Structure 1
Amino acid sequence: MSFTLGPNNYGKSGIRLVRVGRESSRHDLRDLTVHTALSGDLDATHYRGDNTGVLPTDTQKNTVYAFARDGVDAIETFAERLARHFVDATPSITRARVRIEQHHWTRIGDHSFTRGEGGELRTTEVAYDGRTATTTAGVTDLLLLNTTDSAFSGFLVDEYTTLPETDDRILATAVTAAWDYQAEDPDDAFYEHAFTRARGALLAAFADTHSLSLQQTLYAVGERILKAIPEVGEVRLSMPNRHHYLYDLDRFGLDNPGMVFQAGDLPYGLIEGTVRREEA
C-alpha cells in the first residue's frame, strides 16, 4: 500500500491590522482581519521536513503589516497586492489566496469613530496563480429585520408538522453574500463603488420585497445585486432564519396583537442559494 500527498496549503490566519491614514486632519481608518493561504511545491516539507521552500507564516504576517505602510484603500486591491507578492517573490509558491474582512466603523468626527455590535463585515478573497487574479467580494453577518410584510403559508404538511401558517411575521436574518467580479482593469474606485452599489441593492431588495418565503427574499436580493453590477455573473447567498415567536400573554390576562416576541436562537432555518445571470 502506498500513500501520496493531496491538495494542501498553509498560511497565517487572523492577522489583525488597524491602519490610520493621517494625510489630512480628517483621518482615515481601516480595521481589517487578514488571512493568507499559500500552496505550491511543498512536498519536501511534508515528506521529509525539509523547509527550504517554506515561507514562514510569521513572515507572511509581517508582510501584511509592511504592505499596509504604503496604504490600504479598497480591500480587494490590497488583497491582490499581497497575493501577487507571495507568488511572484517566492519560487516554491504557485498559488496564493488572501481573504480580508473589514470591520465597519462609523465616523463621528475628523478623528473619532464608533462601532456597533451588529457584526457586519465587508469581505474579499483574491486568488493568484502567477497568471490570473480572481476577486471575490461580499459581506457577512449583515443583520436585517422586517417587522411586517412577511408571511409563510401553503407549505407541505405531514404527521410531524406543528408549525402554524402565518400571513404576518417578523422576518430576520444575518446575510452572508459573495460575488465574483468580471471586470477589466478594476481599481480602488471601481471596487468601492461596486461594493456600495451591491450593499445598497441588497438592503433595498430586503426592504421592498413582500416576502412569502425567505427563499423568495433570497432570490430578490441576488437579482437586485446582479441588476446593480453588470460586472457580476452570480451571487451566492446564505440567509439563516432568525426566528421570532409571538409570546403567549393570555396566561397573564393580556392580549398580544403582534407586539411582544421571543427571539429564538437554536435551531434555526438556513436558506442558501445562488442567483445567476443567464447567458445571452
Structure 2
Amino acid sequence: MAQGDIVLGPNQYGKAECRLVRITRDTDVHQIEDLNVTTQLRGDFAACHTDGDNSRVVATDTQKNTVYAFAREHGIGSPEDFLLRLAAHFVDGFAWVSGAELSAEQYAWERIAVDGRAHDHAFSRTGRETRTAVVERDGERTSVVAGLKDCTVLKSTGSEFHGFPRDRYTTLQETTDRILATSVTATWRYTRTDLDFDALYDGVRETLLSTFATVHSLALQQTIFEMGKAVLEQYDAVAEVSLSCPNKHHFLVDLAPFDLDNPGEVFFAADRPYGLIQATVLREGA
C-alpha cells in the first residue's frame, strides 16, 4: 500500500499540575495563595522526537522549578499575571520556544474564626468554586482566558420548561415552576493583558451569579445566554464568554402512597444522566 512520508505533527510538552502554596509572612497576619499550575511549551522540538536529541528540551523538571522560583522571586498576585510572567520567561528566554500554554487553578481559603475574630494564620478550605486561568503565548501574540468551575447554584422557583417537541419517546412533563440547578463552568477571554484581573474576576463572577438569580428562566439555554450577555454588556475588556452547565435535575417525589401531599417541597436530586448545556456568547467580529 502506497503512503507518503511520515512526519511529526503538532506537539507540545511541559509539567502538569505543579501544586503551589505560597504563604506571605510580611506581617503577623499571614496570606495564603494556593494554585495548581501546568506548563506546556511549543517550538522547534523535532530533533528530540525524531533523533532523541535533547539539546533544545527545556526539561519539565526545570519548568516545575521555575514555577516555584517565580513564586518566591516575584510573588503570585493574580493567577493571570503569574502565568503571563512565566510565559514571557519561557518564550523570550529560549530562542527555539515559539509558544506556550500555561494554565492554573486557584483554590480559595478563608480564615478560621476564633472567639468571633478571624485568626491570623489558621485557614479552612472554602466550598467556593475553583478559579481558572489560561495564558497562551504564540510568538508575540498573547491571549488571556479567565474562568471558574464547580460553581454550584440553585434557584427554587423562577424556572419553567415547556413547549418542546413531543414524540412517542417523550415522557417529560411540561412545567411552569421547577427547581433550576447547575454547576457552572465558565471561561471568558480578555481583549488585553494590562488589566486588574482580580477585580475583573470578582465582577464577572458577581454578574454571572446575579443574572442566574434574577432572570426568569424558560430554559437553561436562555439562562446561560443571558449570563454571558450580561458579562459582555458590563465589561468591555471581555470579548467572549463560554459556559458549560449540566442540568442538575430535581424530580418531585410522589408521596401519595404514604397519603401525603407534596406541594413542591420534597425532591429527588438525580446525579445522572443529566442534560449538558453549552454555549459561547461573543461580540460580533470578536
TM-score, scaled relative to structure 2: 0.93
Q: Is residue 2:206 matched to residue 1:200? A: yes
Letter in 2 for 1:114: S
The Cα of 1:117 is off from its aligned counterpart by: 4.0
Query: Equivalences for 1:160-239 in 2 at 5 Å?
Result: 160-183=169-192, 185-186=194-195, 190-239=196-245
Q: Is residue 2:268 matched to residue 1:265? A: no
Q: Could you tell me whether the CA contact under 8 Å between 1:11 and 1:38 is conserved in 2?
A: yes
Q: Could you tell me whether the CA contact under 8 Å between 2:144 and 2:193 is conserved in 1?
A: no
Tell me whether 250-259 or 71-80 shows the greater mean CA deviation.
250-259
Q: Is residue 2:176 matched to residue 1:154? A: no
CA distance in 1, matches of 2:263, 2:55: 70
Unaligned segments of structure 1, at least 5 residues: none
Letter in 1 for 2:59: P
Count of aligned pairs between the two proteins: 276
CA distance in 1, matches of 2:67, 2:18: 8
Q: Could you tell me whether the CA contact under 8 Å between 1:182 and 1:233 is conserved in 2?
A: yes
Q: Could you tell me whether the CA contact under 8 Å between 1:99 and 1:124 is conserved in 2?
A: yes
Change (3 A) 1:90 1:174: same
Q: RMSD of the TM alignment (CA)?
A: 1.5
CA distance in 2, matches of 1:239, 1:166: 20
Q: Is residue 2:78 matched to residue 1:74? A: yes
2:247 alignment counterpart = 241
Query: Equivalences for 1:22-61 in 2 at 5 Å?
Result: 22-61=25-64
Percent identical pairs in the alignment equals: 50
CA distance in 2, matches of 1:5, 1:183: 33
Q: Is residue 2:38 matched to residue 1:17? A: no
2:98 alignment counterpart = 94
CA distance in 2, matches of 1:185, 1:14: 26
TM-score, scaled relative to structure 1: 0.94
Deviation digits for residues 18-73 of structure 1 (CA, Å, limit 9, x no counterpart): 11111222221111000111110011111111111111111111110111003110
Deviation digits for residues 78-133 of structure 1 (CA, Å, limit 9, x no counterpart): 00111111112223211111101101112342323222345x21111001123122
CA distance in 2, matches of 1:93, 1:143: 39
Deviation digits for residues 159-206 of structure 1 (CA, Å, limit 9, x no counterpart): 1101011111111111111111113633xxx11111111001001100
Q: Could you tell me whether the CA contact under 8 Å between 2:133 and 2:146 is conserved in 1?
A: yes
Tell me whether 82-91 or 152-161 shows the greater mean CA deviation.
82-91
CA distance in 2, matches of 1:107, 1:228: 31
Q: Quick one: which of 122, 129, 154 aligns to 2:138? A: 129
Q: Could you tell me whether the CA contact under 8 Å between 1:84 and 1:130 is conserved in 2?
A: no
CA distance in 2, matches of 1:279, 1:136: 18
CA distance in 2, matches of 1:113, 1:220: 36
Helix, strand or coil for the counterpart of 1:251? helix
CA distance in 2, matches of 1:182, 1:63: 27
Unaligned segments of structure 2, at least 5 residues: 113-117
Helix, strand or coil for the counterpart of 2:170? coil
Q: Could you tell me whether the CA contact under 8 Å between 2:143 and 2:192 is conserved in 1?
A: no
Helix, strand or coil for the counterpart of 1:158? coil
